[in-house]
Amino acid sequence: MQALGEQFHRKSVWAIASLEHGIGRLMLVWVVVAAALAALRIVFAVTPIDGAAALIQTVLPYVFVVGAPVAACLIGDALFPRGALYEQPQIRLARYGKWKAVDCLSAREHKLFGPTGMMASLVIGMMLNVPVRSLEFLAAVPAMNGHAPLWGQMLMAAMTMDVVVMNFLYMLAFMMALRSVPWFPRFLLLVWGVDVTAQIGIAHFVGNAPNLPAPVGEAMGDLLNGNLKKVAISAAIWLPYLLLSERVNLTYRGRVAETH
């Protein structure tokens, strides 16, 4: 069992190092693949593209969908440079357990410091959430523009805003976790809250659209319920870990468990 644990840890170290040094290549692959899928969606738009205005209305949502994760990576890289040292927040929210504060240099020398081990699974999961959510959006929402009925325009606007904002926030959380930024745990909690609020808000907004076809409403409800369930499952699994893990407390809160 110990050998398996050591093997898992080595793989997690390799995975995090690969992400840290290969994030630029990953973003390039993302742009190429996502842009190709978006172009395929645009080709089969359900409303006519009969002028420049209609073309812009059809293409612009996908520009934001493709660009949001890239923007989050660039902003995260600028705000949280690799290897930078960060001060701890003045107000401590996670108070469960008995911990002893350590300075940031001592923390970095500790064997448990860094987003490896089980923490790597959360980091990778946040990153994978972006393509999964984007594929769900591309599969569920057809390309359309101002020629669509009002309910269609409302649906497109709401679902586009959801995937753009949430992909941006999850990717920014990914960068914070990768760079061991102390604000990461509470920022992820904020993102989960925004995600839940967004799904409920979209359900009310689009559900009140005039003449919304029942099959469309049911399909949208299934998608939003799926998003809510994913957030609930993620929070149920990872929130206890974020509170109790020695690695998380050392890496993001600058403290170690008190020994008696």
pLDDT at 220: 86
Q: What does the block give as tokens for 16?
A: 């995090």
* Owning domain of residue 90: 2-257
pLDDT at 104: 78
Distances (CA, A) of 217 to 55, 211, 243: 26, 10, 38
pTM comes to: 0.92
Distances (CA, A) of 257 to 24, 107, 145, 247, 260: 36, 12, 56, 10, 10
Distances (CA, A) of 256 to 81, 177, 247, 251: 25, 18, 9, 9
**Overall average pLDDT of the 62-83 stretch:** 95
Q: Which pLDDT band, with edges at 50, 70 and 90, does 260 fall under?
A: very low
Cβ(181)–Cβ(80) under 8 Å? yes
Of 62-76, 110-124, 227-241, which one has max mean pLDDT? 62-76
**Overall average pLDDT of the 131-151 stretch:** 93
**Overall average pLDDT of the 250-257 stretch:** 85
pLDDT at 218: 87
pLDDT at 181: 94
Letter string b/e over residues 237-247, b meaning 16 or more CB atoms within 10 A of that residue's CB: ebeeebeebeb
* Average pLDDT for the chain: 90
Name the least confident of 1-10, 39-48, 75-84, 149-158.
Answer: 1-10
Percentage of residues in the chain having pLDDT higher than 90: 64
More confident residue, 175 or 113: 175
What's the number of domains the chain is made of? 1
Residue 91 has pLDDT above 80, yes or no: no
pLDDT at 9: 75
Residue 3 has pLDDT above 80, yes or no: no
**Overall average pLDDT of the 142-164 stretch:** 94
Distance between CA atoms of residues 172 and 73, nearest Å: 6
More confident residue, 32 or 212: 32
Residue 95 has pLDDT above 80, yes or no: no
Name the least confident of 1-10, 79-88, 97-106, 217-226.
Answer: 1-10
